Amino acid sequence: MTAAREQVRVARALRDLPVIAAAFADARLSYSKVRAITRFATADNEADLVELAEVATAAQLEQLKAGMRRARTAEDVRRRHAARHFAYHYDDDGSLVASFRLPPEQAAVFLHGLDAARGRLRPLAGEGDDASAEAPPGAVGSPTAADALVAMAEQTLTDASAHASRHAAERFQLVIHASAEALAAGDDAVDDDDRAGVELTDGTRLHPATARRLTCHCPASTMIVDAHGNPLHLGRKQRRIRDRLLRAVFARDRGRCRAPGCTEAASQIHHICHWANGGPTCLPNLISLCDAHHWAVHEGGFTILTRRPGQWALLGPTGVTVDPTPTPPAQPVPPLPPDDRLPDDAVSGHWDGTRLDIDYVNQLLTEHAHRATPDEPAEPAEPAEPAVRTEAATPKNASAEAFDLDTITRWHDTIVAMHQRGTTSTDIYYPDEPDEPYTW
């Protein structure tokens, strides 16, 4: 859905950017480059951006896009800080819907935390890296940004409960109230208000499949209530998967999700037959899964099939079986036919390996955006410099003093003579032999 919205945004932006649209239609620019420059292109600078995009990589254009987002005055910074907000509401199906706005320095911390929670810290940006705006589609078990946001909240609660007393730690736990009948209801059961169901502490009702997922591997306690809901007896809190069994599951599954084809780390231990339905808590009835596959086998309609001890398959809701070792196709898939309409060098790029000076390009684009108005006399234009400058054209230390060849030669001869005098002097110690006494 995110990729579809991005494609619609690019298509709408190209209506007002004919130069970029023409370069895209002629296959001179790739979609990744067009997507990056349409975020800050205007009718005044689109010709310059097309010329730059033809000799720059998509990664460089993404860096340029980030550099164009900035507050130019102190008043812009104060206005941006005052616009921070976080708002949320609950939808009719119980989902939490939120929107927020953060300044760039706080947004960077937030996004970095999301990447850390997803296990996908961004690598350091380097020249020539591919910067396609869409992340490559991952496996089914790949954590999403929503999963990472929940993981950040869970880690905060874990840290808070670790530093609290045992009784105070109860405040940082998610408590589910369910009857044995409601917890054992089928996946196709309809949550009816006329009967007791599964509820959170605040009264939010959950589907029985969701409750079984949350109670697969968590402490549980038994409560006996009367007809009016008053507690009569509260049993001890018990953890179903204890230490020795937990170590056995980890030794067998190596801490990885055992769903066929998944390479993610395991985060849940799943009862193949849930204990509420009479399933035993033993090694053959347990399997390590990631969060995504754990949701798939509870609410997603998938079923775990045991092929043999330590090997499982997935049965999808449409009847398709995903085996751990899929059978290869009977006939190889033929390659795509060549398209004679596309030239051989279409969207091949013309980057020659030189480093893009982001600050220099931002300065040029800013000068174009603040051109002199017709009422003001225009300053004489200076000859344009190439946007991609080599290291020779931009020395790192332009203020360094330049020496002629004779001066450098005399300096070199002096250093060599000093070294020769030092190696023949008896007053200078050189520790070539470790056992030699340290004397001067």
Query: Does residue 201 form part of some domain?
Result: no
Query: Does residue 303 form part of some domain?
Result: yes
The upper half-sphere exposure of residue 150, i.e. CA atoms within 13 Å in the direction of its Cβ, equals 8
Q: How does pLDDT run across 50-108, given as a tens digit for each residue?
A: 888 888 888 888 877 777 666 667 787 788 888 899 999 988 888 889 999 988 888 88
Helices of type H across 175-321: 180-183, 208-214, 243-253, 291-298
Q: What angle do the packed helices 46-53 and 18-25 form, to 10 degrees?
A: 30
- Could you say which of 24, 52, 73 is where a domain stops? 73
Query: Does residue 409 form part of some domain?
Result: no
Cα separations (Å) of 112 from 116, 121, 148, 424? 6, 7, 11, 58
CA dihedral 287, 290, 291, 294 (to 10 degrees): -30
The upper half-sphere exposure of residue 368, i.e. CA atoms within 13 Å in the direction of its Cβ, equals 16
pLDDT exceeds 50 at position 16: yes
Amino acid at 437: P
Cα separations (Å) of 54 from 37, 51, 352, 387, 395? 12, 6, 11, 11, 25
For 41, the domain range is 2-73
The residue that leads in pLDDT, 249 or 392, is 249
Query: Does residue 56 form part of some domain?
Result: yes
Query: Does residue 257 form part of some domain?
Result: yes
The Cα angle at residue 148 between residues 34 and 70, in degrees rounded to 5? 45
Angstrom distance (rounded) from CA 349 to CA 360: 21
The Cα angle at residue 409 between residues 391 and 407, in degrees rounded to 5? 80
**Spatial CB neighbours of 147, under 8 Å, sequence gap ≥ 6:** 117, 118, 291, 292
- Could you say which of 73, 98, 131 is where a domain stops? 73
Angstrom distance (rounded) from CA 200 to CA 204: 5
- Could you say which of 73, 101, 127 is where a domain stops? 73
Instruction: Give me the phi and psi of 161, to 5 degrees please.
Output: -70, -30
Strand residues in 25-95 grouped as ranges (E)? 85-90
Reported as a pLDDT band with limits 50, 70 and 90, residue 122 is very low
- Mean pLDDT for 34-39 is 89
Query: Does residue 320 form part of some domain?
Result: yes
The residue among 214, 211, 275 whose CA lies nearest residue 245 is: 275
pLDDT exceeds 50 at position 390: no
> Which of 156-165, 223-232, 241-250, 319-328 shows the lowest per-residue confidence on average (mean pLDDT)?
223-232
Q: Are 195 and 180 in contact (CB under 8 A)?
A: no
pLDDT exceeds 90 at position 330: no
Angstrom distance (rounded) from CA 57 to CA 128: 6
- Mean pLDDT for 141-151 is 76
Tokens encoding 93: 């199906």
pLDDT for the residue numbered 57: 84
Cα separations (Å) of 357 from 63, 125, 350, 362? 10, 14, 17, 9
CA dihedral 369, 375, 380, 384 (to 10 degrees): 20
Strands 96-101 vs 85-90: parallel, antiparallel or unpaired: antiparallel
pTM higher than 0.75, yes or no?
A: no
Query: Does residue 402 form part of some domain?
Result: no
pLDDT for the residue numbered 250: 92
Angstrom distance (rounded) from CA 3 to CA 134: 7
Query: Does residue 250 form part of some domain?
Result: yes
pLDDT for the residue numbered 427: 46
Q: Are 208 and 185 in contact (CB under 8 A)?
A: yes
Domain count, the chain: 2
Q: How does pLDDT run across 214-230, given as a tens digit for each residue?
A: 888 877 777 777 777 77
> Which of 22-31, 35-44, 164-173, 313-322 shows the lowest per-residue confidence on average (mean pLDDT)?
164-173
Q: What is the Rg, in whole angstroms, of the alpha carbon atoms belonging to the chain?
A: 33
Reported as a pLDDT band with limits 50, 70 and 90, residue 286 is very high
pLDDT exceeds 80 at position 266: yes
- Mean pLDDT for 333-347 is 75
- Mean pLDDT for 247-254 is 92
